[in-house]
Structure 1
């Protein structure tokens, strides 16, 4: 006799119910960055669009920033923390291999005993987490999912590297994904290009720090061992993002049955202002579309950049609840993910 497995009964659709963000107290200007590299404020602004970024202090840990952002998202969603059935944390800067930081966050935020796990998808991490959350809600394995993108990239920044020292910032952004009676998170267009894995990477692997491997470690000007840092081939990243990610963004619009002129907002990963401008041009976005440019004062916060930018657009009134937005994340891997969403 063949047993029959009972199907789960989830919501017909899923939506973002609330968003929250946290930016560290310390604001770091380009002038501070210039203390470690031979460059200029004008060059940094022209190449990246960045004027300042936030760097976390000792008490602003990955967990603490996540709790602040997650708490705001839960409050905005109008639910109690005990209603959270799963916590998904996207990050590359939680340095403990195990356990996942999501379990600590779930416990401390008051969610009880939800499913909790971390994902590593670089700057596309939040969009990956959003996709997983949508699937959980529709599948029925969770009614409400807390998705957090959080980074302390200042810990992974080589302050003497002219090509990356000015790029990265710290922060956390979070959303609560829950049930919806109408489609509010479109199909995700996602993928990877592993043949380009070396374009954005960590300078050395953690296991290089084992005793006896010191010959493989990078050294600073004083001969001291340098902590691993994120490095990238800037021009290769720029070309890939501009030419390939615009195609992915268009595919996400097509999959959702939305045209560019029907969009109210565009919230791309905050990697580089020139990349954002190039994507706007490639997608032929009308002037009425609000475009997230959070990178100017926040820098590149990797997995945190999309929810932080989303929160800012809503807080400033540039976008409003119910607006239709295109989100796209892309970065190390190389990986990418894009979808059309209804803003909370």
Structure 2
């Protein structure tokens, strides 16, 4: 029988420094009330000192390996989703391999902004299904604080830094009627909307600084529609209904989008994992950070059917159905 990909390890890292809405209001024309009403965000974590994208990614990955009961000798591949690496190259994944002392396999990065973890999940899942790897580290690690315009209250209040990780391991499919692990991943990109959310340059390019730019209302409108459609696409493909879902673990961009998605799926709010109030938007790290929290505090149990979804710059968006 063929192998499926099972999520067997979970980890996360959040920087030590916490920046509250009140602190931000001393730097830009905003307030705690203004931010909470529009986003649900109360605080965010920002790197300082020794903390880097590489450091956070390795710390989250180490936790995930320990949770899975694996060592560096067991890892066949490392995939890191990030658009805020410490260097253009070598990749963040290669540095994680070095930091964790992993001697075998291969490592590379994927970049799809806030949808990066879902896109990386598809890549890692395919490696396992094709027999190219047995154990894959998948990490989302982001340092958005380095690409924010801290004078723009429309964007700087929305994001935070952090890293989340999972370990995917091969498991033989013995019952095709009730498959465990990743049932499917569904991805989309529409470059016609690429000017709605972008970074205005690359290091070394002349002109504007490399800062994040976003047309918030348009992104919000597309997020609600496209995320609903891609979740429905996944459910239909596996002959599932809203009633079959145990948990929704969405990208943590805005509490209004998160609660709106829960209502569309007829899920009570206590079945929707939300960390945006404390983490803000950590881009590719947001879904694995939320997964890690909900698994470790006992909300998500083995055998639960979990839906994840995310939308980011590109515009790119995707969903996955996973039986843990």
TM tier, smaller: over 0.9
The answer to whether 1:194 aligns with 2:160 is: no
Decide whether the 8 Å contact of 1:186 with 1:255 is kept in 2: no
Q: How does 1:31-110 map to 2 (within 5 A)?
A: 31-110=22-101
Q: Deviation string for 1:17-72 (max 9, x for gaps)?
A: 11100011111100111122212111100100000010011311111111110001
Superposition TM-score, scaled by structure 2 size: 0.94
Q: How does 1:219-234 map to 2 (within 5 A)?
A: 227-234=209-216
In structure 1, the residue corresponding to 2:89 is in which secondary structure?
Answer: coil
User: 1:223: which partner in 2?
Assistant: none
Superposition TM-score, scaled by structure 1 size: 0.89
User: 2:145: which partner in 1?
Assistant: 154
Q: How far did 1:159 drift?
A: 1.0
Q: How far did 1:288 drift?
A: 7.7
Decide whether the 8 Å contact of 2:184 with 2:322 is kept in 1: no
Cα distance in 1 for partners of 2:2, 2:142 equals 31
Q: How far did 1:207 drift?
A: 4.0
In structure 2, the residue corresponding to 1:28 is in which secondary structure?
Answer: strand
Q: How far did 1:316 drift?
A: 2.5
User: 2:106: which partner in 1?
Assistant: 115
Q: How does 1:126-145 map to 2 (within 5 A)?
A: 126-145=117-136
User: 2:224: which partner in 1?
Assistant: 242
Cα distance in 2 for partners of 1:135, 1:289 equals 32
User: 1:336: which partner in 2?
Assistant: 317
Decide whether the 8 Å contact of 1:249 with 1:328 is kept in 2: yes
User: 1:264: which partner in 2?
Assistant: 246
**Equivalent in 258, 262, 273 of residue 255 of structure 2:** 273
Decide whether the 8 Å contact of 1:11 with 1:137 is kept in 2: no
Cα distance in 2 for partners of 1:98, 1:12 equals 33
Structure 1 residues 314-323 or 116-125, which shifts more?
Answer: 314-323
Decide whether the 8 Å contact of 2:43 with 2:279 is kept in 1: yes
Cα distance in 2 for partners of 1:169, 1:109 equals 25
Q: How far did 1:95 drift?
A: 4.1
How many correspondences in the alignment?
Answer: 318
Q: Deviation string for 1:151-187 (max 9, x for gaps)?
A: 0111111111011010110110000101123431011
Greater C-alpha Rg: 1
Structure 1 residues 171-180 or 250-259, which shifts more?
Answer: 250-259
User: 1:6: which partner in 2?
Assistant: none
Q: Which runs of 5+ in 1 are unaligned?
A: 1-9, 210-215, 218-226
In structure 2, the residue corresponding to 1:141 is in which secondary structure?
Answer: coil
Cα distance in 2 for partners of 1:288, 1:163 equals 27
Q: How far did 1:205 drift?
A: 3.5
Q: Deviation string for 1:57-92 (max 9, x for gaps)?
A: 131111111111000101111112211000000001
Q: How far did 1:317 drift?
A: 2.5
In structure 2, the residue corresponding to 1:73 is in which secondary structure?
Answer: helix
Cα distance in 1 for partners of 2:126, 2:139 equals 16
Q: How far did 1:289 drift?
A: 5.9
Decide whether the 8 Å contact of 2:248 with 2:307 is kept in 1: yes
Q: Which runs of 5+ in 2 are unaligned?
A: 174-178
Decide whether the 8 Å contact of 1:107 with 1:113 is kept in 2: no
User: 1:292: which partner in 2?
Assistant: 273
User: 1:220: which partner in 2?
Assistant: none
Structure 1 residues 173-182 or 287-296, which shifts more?
Answer: 287-296
In structure 1, the residue corresponding to 2:261 is in which secondary structure?
Answer: helix
Q: How far did 1:150 drift?
A: 0.2
